[in-house]
């Protein structure tokens, strides 16, 4: 799934990187992090939903979270407090998985 210019702008805004849009590191990593996020969701059993649906908004939020997480944790190690999943992300991902068309639980 190619990263459109509108989706890139949305990701930059979510990650608070709009002012750094022309930075070479941002320009190189945001598309890669986006592709990784889409791949992660596909591996989790979540397909790309039809646009302009509630599932599409949930999907975009999960992608946004994964891109931001990848951006913030791009160092080789994480220092500081305990690292845990964001419960809002986990709940949204679970909801997407449970409502995936053609999948019955």
Taking only the tens place, the pLDDT of each residue in 11-52 is 999 999 999 999 999 999 999 999 999 999 999 999 999 999
Q: What is the mean pLDDT of residues 88-104?
A: 83
Q: 3: which residues sit within 8 A by CB, 6+ positions away?
A: 11, 30, 31, 34, 35
Q: What is the mean pLDDT of residues 75-100?
A: 78
Distance between CA atoms of residues 64 and 45, nearest Å: 18
Rounded to the nearest integer, the mean pLDDT of the chain is 89
């Amino acid at each position: 799934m190619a990263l459109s210019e509108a989706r890139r702008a949305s990701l930059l805004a979510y990650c608070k990187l709009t002012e750094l849009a022309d930075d070479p590191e941002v320009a190189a990593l945001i598309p890669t992090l986006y592709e990784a996020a889409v791949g992660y969701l596909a591996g989790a059993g979540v397909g790309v939903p039809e646009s302009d649906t509630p599932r599409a908004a949930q999907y975009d939020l999960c992608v946004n979270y994964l891109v931001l997480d990848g951006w913030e944790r791009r160092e080789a190690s994480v220092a500081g407090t305990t690292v845990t999943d964001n419960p809002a992300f986990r709940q949204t991902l679970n909801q997407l998985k449970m409502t995936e068309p053609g999948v019955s639980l």
